[in-house]
Amino acid sequence: MNTLIDNVKQLMEEAAKIMKLDPNVVRFLESPKKILQISIPVQMDDGSVKLFDGYRVQHSDVLGPFKGGLRYAPNVDLSEIKGLATLMTFKCAVAGIPYGGGKGGIRCDTHTLSVRELERLTRGFVRYTFEIIGPQHDIPAPDMYTTPQIMAWFMDEYSTLSGEYEPGVVTGKPLVIGGSLGRETATAQGGAYILRDYLEKQNHKTDQIRIIVQGFGNAGHYAAQILHGMGYKIVGASDSKGGVYHEGGLDPFSLMEAKKTKGRVDECGVGKKVSNETLLTLPCDILVLAAMENQITKENAAEIKAKTILELANGPITPEADKILEKNKVVIIPDILANSGGVTVSYFEWVQNNTDFYWSEAEVQARLKDLLLTAFRDIVEIHNNHHSTLRQAAFIRAFKRLSEAIRLRGILESSK
């Protein structure tokens, strides 16, 4: 199976071909501007010292400072981080916010680390990346297995090293130290706004829409709750340990309670237990992918019964699977738009930090909805004009902003 970065490059080339983009622009954006690979020594609670591999990839800053999450996971590697950093460049460009793309990661298992070990690891990462990060240069954010508390340690260590209070160096912080209202639910909320807009234009009746949510982390469980609150029926859900399906509908709050108390959503006491893989292929109208990359591949794409897929995870569908789903008339609302609510409200948080003036949650939600629906409706227009998929249209919209910035800044002579 191709890596995430291979998949992203393939998607870039498809969109560039449709819009007849200068090939030099594509070549320029296929490789990161800078890659930092580090080994972080951490004193463990038992007195031993352990080394952790870490990465920060700065893909592009043609539209503004590098922006992208910091993930802590056992399978983190450079190829994955490069792919995610590249996606972030296009995600920021398609949403219309003044950021470039970056991504960071540390290979570790947070479940095996104490709170103090996690704090030492985070502060070590800041010390080792201090020279390339900053509120006007590279702004990390939470990602897989990183939390507002980790962002608080990050901000504190950076402020200590710089000698100034710098809340804007990271986003996703707790409210009391410069976080933004609406940030925790932003990825799910943004995706829900876009999905509802799409469904309303298709004249679907809300109470007849059946939704399966794969992945019950931050994005997945908030998506289930928000969509349930909008009147849609959640008929399936899963986490890393398994899934549950019930045609009569599931209560997302009960699912989250089961996850908190019993460690897994399929212990909610309702419905049929199924594997994560099986859940993807069960009957529904909307499949929300909120877990990991490469969940739908050429091996299982033909079995998908959903008519619409909302990608809240990064790269959950491979390019080969895209082709099969397109042939089967499955509409995909692509990740670089569908999950851009998180980076959009991160941008709002950064603006609030820079101005030292904070917005109400209603203002955050109104700005988020307006920005993402403007982008989505433009993508639909591009999709209609080019007879492309929505994913290709999203990449085209992003390429238009990126190539114009490259031209105006004079970065490539051939693009003048």
Average pLDDT of the residues in 115-144: 97
Whether 120 has a pLDDT exceeding 50, the answer reads yes
Closest alpha carbon to 67 in 3, 134, 140: 140
The pLDDT value recorded for residue 322 is: 95
Spatial separation of the C-alpha atoms in residues 295 and 300, rounded to whole Å:
9
Side chain identity at residue 265, one-letter code: V
| Neighbouring C-beta atoms of residue 263, cutoff 10 Å | 10
**What are residue 242's DSSP bridge partners?**
239
User: Residues near 317 by Cβ (< 8 Å), separated by ≥ 6?
Assistant: 289, 295, 296, 301, 309, 311, 325, 332
Per cent of the chain over pLDDT 70 is 99
Nearest to 127 by CA among 164, 104, 160: 160
CB atoms near residue 171 (< 10 Å): 30
Where residue 416 falls among pLDDT bands split at 50, 70, 90?
very low
Question: Six-digit token pair at 400?
Answer: 């238009």
- Tell whether the model's pLDDT for residue 228 goes beyond 60: yes
Examine the residue annotation and report whether 103 is marked as an active-site residue of this protein.
Answer: yes
Average pLDDT of the residues of the chain? 95
pLDDT band per the 50, 70, 90 thresholds, residue 373 = very high
Long-range contacts (CB closer than 8 Å, 24 or more residues apart) made by 293-298: 293/4, 293/80, 293/83, 294/1, 294/4, 294/318, 295/214, 296/321, 296/325, 297/1, 297/321, 298/324
Instruction: Tell me how far apart the alpha carbons of residues 311 and 321 are, in angstroms, rounded to a whole number.
Output: 14
Q: Are 253 and 230 in contact, with CB atoms under 8 Å apart?
A: no
CB of 235 closer than 8 Å to CB of 246: yes
* pLDDT of the residue at 287: 98
Predicted local confidence at residue 293, as pLDDT: 87
Q: Cβ–Cβ contacts within 10 Å for residue 395, how many?
A: 31
Kindly report the number of other CB atoms within 10 A of residue 370's CB atom. 11
Q: Can you give the chain as a three-state secondary structure string?
A: CCCHHHHHHHHHHHHHHHHCCCHHHHHHHHCCCEEEEEEEEEECCCCCEEEEEEEEEEEECCCCCEEEEEEEECCCCHHHHHHHHHHHHHHHHHHCCCCEEEEEEEECCHHHCCHHHHHHHHHHHHHHHHHHCECCCEEEEECCCCCHHHHHHHHHHHHHHHCCCCHHHCCCCCHHHCCCCCCCCHHHHHHHHHHHHHHHHCCCCHHHCEEEEECCCHHHHHHHHHHHHCCCEEEEEEECCEEEECCCCCCHHHHHHHHHHHCCHHHCCCCEEECHHHHHCCCCCEEEECCCCCCECCCCHHHCCCCEEEECCCCCECHHHHHHHHHCCCEEECHHHHCCHHHHHHHHHHHHHHHCCCCCHHHHHHHHHHHHHHHHHHHHHHHHHHCCCHHHHHHHHHHHHHHHHHHHHCCCHHHC
Question: What pLDDT, on a 0 to 100 scale, did the predictor assign at position 206?
Answer: 85
Mean pLDDT (whole number) for 112-132 = 98
Task: Tell me if 397 sits within 8 A of 217, measured CB to CB.
Answer: no
> In this model, does residue 112 exceed pLDDT 80?
yes
- The reported pLDDT for the residue numbered 1 is 65
Distance CA 216, CA 186 (A): 15
Q: What is the mean pLDDT of residues 16-40?
A: 97
Count Cβ atoms below 10 Å from residue 413 Cβ, excluding itself. Answer: 7
- Give the mean model confidence (pLDDT) for residues 15-22: 96
pLDDT at 207 over 90: no
Mean pLDDT of 299-321: 95
Q: Quick one: pLDDT at residue 414?
A: 52
Q: What is the pLDDT of residue 4?
A: 87
* Tally of CB atoms within 10 A around 3: 16
Domains of the chain: 4-167 (3.40.50.10860), 186-333 (3.40.50.720)
CB-based contacts of 409, cutoff 8 Å, min separation 6: 62
Could you report the per-residue pLDDT of 182-203, keeping only the tens digit for each?
999 999 999 999 999 999 998 8
Q: Which residue has the tokens 């049929």?
A: 272
| Set 33, 67, 103, 173: catalytic member | 103
